[in-house]
Amino acid sequence: MVDIHIYNTKARTKQPFEPIDPSNVRMYVCGPTVYDHVHIGNARPVAVFDVMFRLLRHVYGSDHVTYARNITDIEDKIMERAERDGVSIKSLTERCARQYQTDMLKLGTLEPSLQPKATEHLPEMIKMMKTLIEKGHAYVADGHVMFHVASMENYGQLSRHSRDELIAGARVEVAPYKKDAADFVLWKPSSEDQMGWSSPWGKGRPGWHLECSCMIEKHLGETIDIHAGGQDLIFPHHENEIAQSECSHGATFVNYWMHNGYLTVDGEKMSKSLGNFHTVHDLLKEHEGEALKLSLLVAHYRQPIDFSIKTIQEQKRRLDRWYRLTDGVDADTTIPVAVIEALADDLNTPRAIAALDALASDDTAGALKAGAQFLGLLLKSNDSWFKGDAPDGITASEIEVLIADRIKARANKDFSESDRIRNRLESAGVALEDGASGTTWRKAD
RNA sequence: GGCGCGAUGGCGGAGUGGUGACGCAACGGAUUGCAAAUCCGUGUACACGAGUUCGAUUCUCGUUCGCGCCUCCA
């Protein structure tokens, strides 16, 4: 049995991973709010924790891991966007959720076991709020249901923020209905024309944190093994999930918290206002999904990544090399130990990739293929990888005709004609390679 | 202000108390009509200053610089 070690945010240290139930290891990852295309930063946790999912399946068996990744389809930004675009909330969220799932699959990630949606868990949310009110952890004020932070002894255990610090550092105006500046919203009132659900406290909608607590409890149980997401979620999102869940059921909420580092562009956080915003959807038009995914895995997940197109191109070249080497080679039936060991050490993907590079030679191509495919790479045929859909403006058969003409010219030592044909193909985006077994072509980079 | 993270060669990026991971780029060579692809070869990197040590890029302290979070952003 492989020993997995995980850096646990709760303990701020690397710990051996011991599942609650090896026959059902449970992991939850915070997914996107669906109101637009997701950006490449949103894809980082998806790519990273997909590797975790694969590793857990490898170690505990593919039928013994449950991985849930939620879709947040209730949020004020959704309402604003739907109104701006004049579309219904439902059509907006469903379209975006579908697009998200399609794009993530193109990155070569596995489909999670479950993809629960907030809108499907209103009864559970109402039930949790009732429990929290009964137990004195929440109160009703001015149409809101608020979580009362002071009612929880060890609030702040994950982020290491004390309630006092929060109040001292508060940057926003304290809403008048709050008993305490640190209190947060479980439920807020909706006007007639806003999205909302009926509840014992009137028509309203849930606060952001409540859905994750409820979906985890319903689908995975009161205590789960791994909860993951971006570093920015540590506070307030995950801290408040802990508060809601542990105060409502009393059990430990999560044993291992994993948080991926930020992805920046030119050293700055990606944001629309800075104009450095790259959506996965757009990137997939220009770049291979596998190259995109590898770009997200070349750095350790807890390190920041300064994203660039150059990185994608570098990873494309690495994959080109791996594809050439493994052409026509069957993948070994076992995954290289070095790859598994690297991943088991707190998901050290750079080391796993280096291990694959070390296997990138003719006599270990089968191992390379097995290891790469374990990560969801090298899954295409070489034809599809190098040729893909024929480049714009020229068909594969036209290319073959020109190659045949060029072979004739070369046989006649008519190199000016030969080069003319090659240049013509090059300007059409086709690169030629004269190998020992003849001339082949591929799409130029 | 509070909490936390980081600084490795031209670039990306692991790791380690004592032989320069790995990849990209660059350069030289082989191969090629020329290329491409491939193969062989080439590199005195660990922000700065102290300390601990036989020995520090790795441990400790300090400095500088950069970044994130502090109520709804992965």
Rounded to whole angstroms, the distance from the CA of residue A205 to the C1' of nucleotide B28 is 69
Rounded to whole angstroms, the distance from the CA of residue A88 to the C1' of nucleotide B31 is 64
- Of A238, A260, A282, the residue that ends a domain is A260
pLDDT recorded at residue A165: 63
Q: Are residues A254 and A272 in the same domain?
A: no
Q: Are residues A368 and A421 in the same domain?
A: no
Task: Give the residues across from A443 on adjacent strands.
Answer: A430
Q: Are residues A200 and A310 in the same domain?
A: no
Collect all residues with Cβ–Cβ distance below 8 Å to A237 and sequence separation of at least 6.
Answer: A30, A208, A209, A212, A229
Mean pLDDT value of segment A179-203: 90
Q: Are residues A112 and A15 in the same domain?
A: yes
**Domain of residue A410, residue span:** 387-443
Q: Are residues A137 and A213 in the same domain?
A: yes
Across A46-55, A69-78, A160-169, A362-371, least confident range: A160-169
Q: Are residues A84 and A193 in the same domain?
A: yes
Residue A70 maps to which CATH number?
Answer: 3.40.50.620
- Of A204, A230, A260, the residue that ends a domain is A260
Residue A178 clears pLDDT 60, i.e. is over it: yes
Q: Are residues A202 and A351 in the same domain?
A: no
Q: Which residues of A132-168 are buried (b: 16+ CB within 10 A; e: fewer)?
A: bbeeebbbbeeebbbbbbebbeebbebbebebeebee
Q: What nucleotide is nearest A299 when CA is compared to C1'?
A: B13
Rounded to whole angstroms, the distance from the CA of residue A78 to the C1' of nucleotide B9 is 47
Q: Which nucleotides of B are covered by protein (CB under 7 A)?
A: 1-6, 11-15, 21-25, 32-39, 66-74
- Of A352, A368, A385, the residue that ends a domain is A385
pLDDT recorded at residue A204: 94
Reduce the DSSP state of residue A161 to 3 states and report it: coil
Q: Are residues A90 and A216 in the same domain?
A: yes
- Give me chain A's average pLDDT, please: 91
Cα(A51)–Cα(A44) distance, integer angstroms: 11
Contact predicate A377/A294, CB 8 Å: yes
Angle of helix A210-219 relative to helix A122-134, nearest 10 degrees?
A: 100
Q: Are residues A226 and A99 in the same domain?
A: yes
Mean pLDDT value of segment A294-301: 94
Rounded to whole angstroms, the distance from the CA of residue A159 to the C1' of nucleotide B62 is 27
Chain-centroid distance, C-alpha A364:
31
Collect all residues with Cβ–Cβ distance below 8 Å to A429 and sequence separation of at least 6.
Answer: A391, A392, A394, A443, A444
Is the previous residue joined to A32 through a cis bond, with omega within 30 degrees of 0? no
More confident residue, A268 or A240: A240
Q: Which residues of A376-413 are buried (b: 16+ CB within 10 A; e: fewer)?
A: bbbebebeebbbeebbeebeeeebeebbeebeebbeee
Chain-centroid distance, C-alpha A37:
13
Rounded to whole angstroms, the distance from the CA of residue A131 to the C1' of nucleotide B6 is 42
Q: Are residues A127 and A275 in the same domain?
A: no
Q: What nucleotide is nearest A174 when CA is compared to C1'?
A: B71
Mean pLDDT value of segment A300-310: 89
Rounded to whole angstroms, the distance from the CA of residue A397 to the C1' of nucleotide B74 is 45
Q: What nucleotide is nearest A9 when CA is compared to C1'?
A: B4
pLDDT recorded at residue A142: 87
ipTM of the complex: 0.91
Q: Are residues A413 and A355 in the same domain?
A: no
More confident residue, A164 or A50: A50
How many domains does chain A fold into? 3
Q: What nucleotide is nearest A41 when CA is compared to C1'?
A: B74
What single string gives the DSSP state of each residue in A73-115? ---HHHHHHHHHHT--HHHHHHHHHHHHHHHHHHTTPPPPSB-
Residue nearest to nucleotide B38 (CA to C1'): A435
Q: Are residues A137 and A281 in the same domain?
A: no
